[in-house]
Structure 1
Amino acid sequence: MVAPSVLQPKVTVIVFAYNQEQYIAQAIESILMQQTDFVYEINILEDCSTDRTRAIVLDFQRRYPDKIRVDLPVQNQNNNKAFATAVCRAQSQYIALLDGDDYWTSPYKLQKQVDFLDRHPESVTCFHAVHVFYEDGSRPMRISKSQKPVLTIEDILEGLSIQTGSTMFRRSAVQSFPEWYQTAGIGDWELHIFLAQHGNAAYLDTVMSAYRKHRGGIYTSASRISVLKARVAMYEQIDAYLDFRYHKLIRSLIGRNYYELAEEYGKVGDQAEAKKYLTRSLSIAPLNRRLPYRNLLYTAFRLHAPGLYNLLLNTLADKGRLQIDRATKE
């Protein structure tokens, strides 16, 4: 019998690990439980955790030296460079992804996704439904929203999301990554834009993983304003990367983000910035169907005529209280 270490892996599973000592073992074990008729390998990107994550990962590597590779940077990177390197280095046919605080729930996940992609050369990616649960128990567990059977590049540009732990894609679809992507903040959206240029993303309506939402997640601590500004900058990068083939669509999406920035600045009392972004939202893509015009009018009224706006609100409130009083007396 040929030793597994000399067989060419069909799938490379890339795991993102950072400060996840409570969860990383469960994530790795959920990969090791996979039942397949092919060889797969695990490449863990450990980004200089300050807790015991690295020690746990290295212990797994010691126990499974023919299965697990660990990349250990000298200092925390918090960008896509290690991921880009891992993808371009992989010799496998397919790449699967998993965050270190999530885990797979089906032992047949890899097999099902490989079988699907083997049968469907028109699809460059396939993904599936996930269980979403909140670590603190603040909300009940739910299944992710059902998706269209097939997503195009336009769908992904518009924001239809693909959860990291559900993703498998063809290694051949990515030959290299642009420099700006490697130094950008960690995220999957840009990756799926790159992939969608070569084929569709197919949805499998089967729950095969769990997505953990908790206070320590990568995005939960970022301010909404910072997230929106970063998204606008990324839209501009993507627009140029795609040679402006989707310029009209992307401009309308930027306009929607400008409107949301106006709302957020209004909430924190920065009227000047709120007005600036409200004006930008209207000027960048006139007649933008992605703008909630009714809400936008209220926002414009509140920002440019606050006295009249408050007077109107008080009048409506008084009218409502009067109607309640009358109903009570009757």
Structure 2
Amino acid sequence: MTLSVVLITYNHAESIRQTLESIFMQKTNFRFELIIANDHSTDNTDEVIQNILSETPSNIEVKYCNHEQNKGVNNNFIWAIKQCKGKYLAFCEGDDYWTTSDKLQTQVDFMEANTDYAMCFHKVEDEKQRVVENIENREYKDSEIFNNFLVQLAGVVCKNDFSEEDFKILESKDIHFIDLVFFLILANKGKVRGLSQKMSFYRYEQNSITNNKKSINFYIKQLNHLRFLSKIFNGKYAVYNKNRIKLQAYKIFRYYVMKGNIQAIKYLRIYLKR
């Protein structure tokens, strides 16, 4: 199998049809599989999916799972990747969609012609018609991906070559934003290429991690995430994270001071650590 498309979804009844239609419209010279992982949606996402599956083109093999229990975003993402048989992976979450019919062919052609690359990604537009990041046609370093949050999952095609150690990293409970960790794993396996074409659309869901109202639990999770990033890959990203960790620790310290909570001491120590 040349390619597997990973579609994770939870309560996307209003948008999942457009997502699937954008996958079904792909024009490729290869067959590909579509892995749909419905994380026990509580709306009628399952019904919408079931209704549109009859429209699946003949060059796409669909594997659909509606989980009996909610796994959570990260675990659902990992589960879906482990089901994939394709040489390459592409991604389209249930609230995003692709905007050109040659997206998959364009990216697979690049990967086939450039075997030293582990991943390529392209420009993504959001619902306000803004380009999320201005991606150039060039190689990107892992430090750029780490520091600038350049990559949107809907714009990625990558090699499907993950070890048990890779999954061990992804399964860490300290990960808050799994996308970035996933991209860093790939960037440490091979080169990463940016493509200037705009071929996907990204929605800001009200209940998404990146759009949630910030609470103290959010900042604690973010701090744990940053400290985890500083440890993986032999600590190569620690130098970029020092000030970020201090900032998060200080925010949490101030919160607990205002509450008169002894937990403030713990975060003061993290803030003062060199």
- The total of aligned residue pairs comes to 267
Describe the shift of the 1:275–1:155 C-alpha distance in structure 2 as closer, same or farther (beyond 3 A).
farther
Q: Would you say 1:144 and 2:132 are equivalent positions?
A: yes
Match for 2:89 among 91, 95, 114?
A: 95
- 2:246 corresponds in structure 1 to 255
- 1:162 corresponds in structure 2 to 151
Q: Which has the larger radius of gyration?
A: 1
Instruction: Please state whether the residue corresponding to 2:230 is helix, strand or coil.
Output: helix
- 2:100 corresponds in structure 1 to 106
Find the aligned partners of 1:72 and 1:249 in 2 and give their Cα distance: 39
- 1:28 corresponds in structure 2 to 20
Give, in angstroms, the shift of residue 152 of structure 1: 2.2
Q: Is the 8 A contact 2:10 2:94 kept in 1?
A: yes
Give, in angstroms, the shift of residue 269 of structure 1: 5.3
Say which structure, 1 or 2, has more relative contact order (CA 8 Å, 6+ apart): 2
Instruction: Please state whether the residue corresponding to 2:226 is helix, strand or coil.
Output: helix
Find the aligned partners of 1:228 and 1:82 in 2 and give their Cα distance: 23
- 1:321 corresponds in structure 2 to none
- 1:153 corresponds in structure 2 to 142
Cα deviation, 1:236-289, whole Å, max 9, x if unaligned, reads 3333332324433333442243355567x49x95587889757744x334xxxx
Find the aligned partners of 1:228 and 1:119 in 2 and give their Cα distance: 42
For residues 115-154 of structure 1, the aligned pairs below 5 Å read 115-133=109-127, 140-147=128-135, 149-154=138-143
Give, in angstroms, the shift of residue 102 of structure 1: 0.9
Give, in angstroms, the shift of residue 180 of structure 1: 5.8
Describe the shift of the 1:21–1:186 C-alpha distance in structure 2 as closer, same or farther (beyond 3 A).
farther
Cα deviation, 1:8-56, whole Å, max 9, x if unaligned, reads x311110011101010000000000001111111111100001110112
**Range with greater deviation from structure 2 (161-170 or 103-112):** 161-170
Find the aligned partners of 1:179 and 1:199 in 2 and give their Cα distance: 19
- 1:38 corresponds in structure 2 to 30
- 1:327 corresponds in structure 2 to none
Give, in angstroms, the shift of residue 124 of structure 1: 0.9
Q: Would you say 1:237 and 2:243 are equivalent positions?
A: no
Match for 2:202 among 206, 211, 232?
A: 211
Find the aligned partners of 2:185 and 2:228 in 1 and give their Cα distance: 12
Show structure 1 runs of 4+ deviating over 6 A.
271-276
Q: Is the 8 A contact 2:3 2:31 kept in 1?
A: yes
Alignment RMSD: 2.8
Instruction: Please state whether the residue corresponding to 1:107 is helix, strand or coil.
Output: coil
For residues 14-93 of structure 1, the aligned pairs below 5 Å read 14-64=6-56, 67-93=61-87
Give, in angstroms, the shift of residue 209 of structure 1: 0.8
Percentage identity across paired residues of the two chains: 25
Find the aligned partners of 1:224 and 1:102 in 2 and give their Cα distance: 26
Find the aligned partners of 1:248 and 1:214 in 2 and give their Cα distance: 32
- Structure 1: runs of 5 or more not aligned: 1-8, 134-139, 286-330
- Structure 2: runs of 5 or more not aligned: none
Q: Would you say 1:13 and 2:5 are equivalent positions?
A: yes
Find the aligned partners of 1:227 and 1:162 in 2 and give their Cα distance: 22
Instruction: Please state whether the residue corresponding to 2:19 is helix, strand or coil.
Output: helix
Find the aligned partners of 2:172 and 2:189 in 1 and give their Cα distance: 23
Give the partner amino acid of 2:16.
I
**Range with greater deviation from structure 2 (61-70 or 17-26):** 61-70
Q: Structure 2 length as normaliser, TM-score?
A: 0.84
Find the aligned partners of 1:259 and 1:164 in 2 and give their Cα distance: 31
Find the aligned partners of 2:8 and 2:95 in 1 and give their Cα distance: 9
Q: Is the 8 A contact 2:88 2:160 kept in 1?
A: yes
Instruction: Please state whether the residue corresponding to 2:4 is helix, strand or coil.
Output: strand
Describe the shift of the 1:147–1:243 C-alpha distance in structure 2 as closer, same or farther (beyond 3 A).
same
Q: Is the 8 A contact 2:19 2:97 kept in 1?
A: yes
Find the aligned partners of 1:61 and 1:122 in 2 and give their Cα distance: 36
Q: Is the 8 A contact 1:158 1:253 kept in 2?
A: no
Give, in angstroms, the shift of residue 83 of structure 1: 2.6
Q: Is the 8 A contact 2:229 2:237 kept in 1?
A: no
Give the partner amino acid of 1:61.
L
Match for 2:179 among 167, 188, 194?
A: 188
Q: Structure 1 length as normaliser, TM-score?
A: 0.71
